[in-house]
Chains A and B, each alone.
Chain A
Amino acid sequence: MSDILLRIENLRISFGKDDRRVAAVNGVSLEVGSGEVVGLVGESGSGKSLTCRSVIRLLPPGGEMTANRVLFEGVDVQSLDRDALRAHRAHNVGMIFQDPFSCLDPTKRIGEQIAETLRVNVGLDREAAKVQALSLLEDVGISSPERRYLAYPHELSGGMRQRVMIAIAVATKPKLLIADEATTALDVTTQAQILDLIVRLRREIGMSVLLVSHDFGVIAQVCDRVAVMYGGYVVEFGPVADICNRPQHPYTRALLDSIPTIESAGQRIRRDGIPGQPPSLGEIEQGCPFVNRCSYASDACRTLELSMREVGPGHTSACPVTIGSGS
């Protein structure tokens, strides 16, 4: 990774009034190299969506973020004033979400919605915007773009709508694309197409991708590096192959072990799974968030100050326990 596009250091996001503040993200550090695809994987409430929203400082109401630094191309996003933040959101970062239907204006033709982005954010005139929008539609793999340009969102399938969302997100040629569970609602075949599209655009535009997903399979298919999140912490970070093949954090390991696979079809294996459930917001105030479900846990884990330690080249884990290699 030659240069770093995004570096987040010690990000904390919390909700609630002064005396009852609860932390949803707890000192997350992360980096995305230029041209790199980084995955954020974790279960509900792990803080993965919040973490990626901090990149454009778009938090849900009541959310407050602090961080040592959120550097995007060397500029701290936290220091941007209103205009600079708008420009940052418009030009540097494109974002796609799980539900493309609710992100599109149901009363406007999809072509016009893409053209609007181009007019407002790139400053093209009406004619040029239309031409550019048509070529974007073609880029994202929508056949007969002239006809689709006139379609309304409800006339398209889920996969098509996600393609439109991607067209809007990459219209300004952003340096970073954030895909937040962008393929979760789609069929596997459509999902595979959308993932292929994201990867292709990443190459063509030369952008980086931050891919948020709860599905380790998706992450493994497209990411270079992956950060595993749990209870508001990044518990493990490293190259995707290392994480999948040699998970070092007990949570990552248990999670990978609970994922059913096609290969084991018909073998009637029963996976152990992870006992209990993820901590709720504010439930764990100190120590390791995984302590109550962890088979390696000791009393020390309850008071532990979480810090990442190197467990392999470019591979860090938040757990002091060294577990045997391979599963």
Chain B
Amino acid sequence: MNASPDTLPLLRVTQAVKQFVLRRTLGDRVARRPGVLHTAVDHVSFELGSGEVLGLAGGSGSGKTTLARMLIRLVEPDDGQIMFGDSDVRAASGHALREIRRQMQMVFQDPYSSLNPRMRIGAAIFEAGKVHHQPGVDDEAAFVARVLDLVRLPASAARRFPQELSGGQRQRVAIARALAVGPKVLIADEAVSALDVSIQTQLLNLFLDLRDELGLSIIFVAHQLSVIAEVADRVAIMHEGKIVEIGPTAEVFHRPQHDYTRSLLAAHPSHTAPTPRGGSV
């Protein structure tokens, strides 16, 4: 399911940069200097093929979330180029930007706060579809039921408020709301990190099912290497704002080339080879 070389990549990021101002003194302002900057994303380039799952791994502060948010301009890029199909994400505004955002949907880490607590599940899903005039929105109940079915939730969930659902169910609702607008790309930003293992597995399978059924491309941001190892076709390892290594998942994890990747893999706790570090009494 890798992007074949003869087709155009769905998304192409070239030399993307994002800097945050850490401190800017009055002197800096007067002299029009930028102040002390932190480069969160440092000349990052990658491509995403149609139907591909790209894993984005790295520690906290590695810039992976900033990068993910830049793709749909929740964070404004400072430099570089982001091409979605043949539209330039950085240049888009107004309707064009909304159309890009419709096609690249995001699922956030915390299913407890990514849903409006005062909106019933059905209303939230229907609203998303209606705003973007998705086919079938003239029949609200049927539309909501169909979308809920995509994430394996019963139609009866529509009447619930987010607080009435478990973490895993809420994350399914967040995915459903994203699917309601008919996207081509899902950006899952630590979307399974807050969930228990058994629920996490269900969600990972759901993502893979959606890729197969709807032909979605998925950018899967996570700090858990093992999760990425099992869902991603290709993986990019980020460290201090740079992609230090990118390649097919098996390649990167079994034959890591960069020291940082090696240290990440070495530190990853594994249950398959219990080796008590202290040595038993």
Q: Which residues of A contact B (CB under 8 A)?
A: 1-2, 33, 35-37, 43-44, 158, 187-192, 195-196, 199-200, 202-203, 214-224, 240-241, 244-245, 254-256, 258-275, 277-278, 280, 293
Contact = CB atoms under 8 A, between A and B. Distances in A.
Contacts of A200: 278
Nearest to B195: A44
A266 B251 contact: yes
Contact of B267 (A2, A188, A293): A188
B268 A217 contact: yes
B266 to A, nearest CB: 8
A43 B272 contact: no
Interface residues of B, number: 48
A217 to B, nearest CB: 3
A241 B197 contact: no
- B169, B274, B280 — most chain A CB neighbours (10 Å): B274
**6 nearest A-B residue pairs (beta carbon):** A266-B250, A273-B201, A217-B269, A265-B253, A265-B229, A274-B198
Given A188-B264, A189-B59, A270-B208, A258 B197 contact: yes
Contact of B278 (A2, A202, A270, A277): A202
Interface stretch (B86-94, B136-144, B220-228): B220-228
A277 B223 CA distance: 24
B168 A277 contact: yes
Contact of B270 (A43, A217, A266, A277): A217
B229 A260 contact: yes
A224 B166 CA distance: 33
B166 A277 contact: yes
Contacts of B229: 260-262, 264-266
- B205, B225, B268 — most chain A CB neighbours (10 Å): B268
- B197, B204, B280 — most chain A CB neighbours (10 Å): B197
Given A189-B263, A261-B229, A271 B269 contact: no
B271 A259 contact: yes
A1 B281 contact: yes
Contacts of B6: none
- A2, A244, A258 — most chain B CB neighbours (10 Å): A258
A262 B271 contact: no
B267 A189 contact: yes
Nearest to B265: A262
15 contacts: A188-B223, A188-B268, A189-B264, A189-B267, A191-B269, A195-B277, A222-B277, A224-B276, A224-B280, A240-B276, A255-B197, A259-B226, A259-B271, A260-B227, A266-B254
Contacts of B274: 220-221, 240-241, 244-245
- B168, B254, B264, B271 — most chain A CB neighbours (10 Å): B271
Given A188-B269, A271-B201, A274-B201, A264 B277 contact: no
Contact of B202 (A188, A259, A265, A273): A273
Contacts of A278: 196, 198
B230 interface: yes
A223 B196 contact: no
A224 B254 CA distance: 29
Contacts of A189: 59, 263-264, 267
A58 to B, nearest CB: 24
Contacts of A33: 281
A43 B230 contact: no
B199 interface: yes
B106 to A, nearest CB: 22
Contacts of B205: 270-271, 273
Nearest to A216: B271
Interface in B5-59: 59
Contacts of A274: 198, 201
Given A35-B281, A266-B253, A258 B269 contact: no
B201 A220 contact: no
Nearest to A256: B271
B202 to A, nearest CB: 5
A220 B198 CA distance: 18
B249 interface: yes
Given A215-B269, A219-B271, A224-B281, 7 more contacts: A36-B281, A187-B60, A203-B278, A259-B197, A261-B271, A278-B196, A293-B198
A296 B114 CA distance: 37
A209 B241 CA distance: 37
A277 to B, nearest CB: 6
A254 B201 CA distance: 11
B248 interface: yes
A157 to B, nearest CB: 9
A192 B201 contact: no
A196 B167 CA distance: 32
Nearest to A45: B196
B4 interface: no
Given A187-B223, A189-B59, A273-B198, A221 B275 contact: yes
Interface string B175-204: 000000000000000000000111111101
A2 B223 CA distance: 40
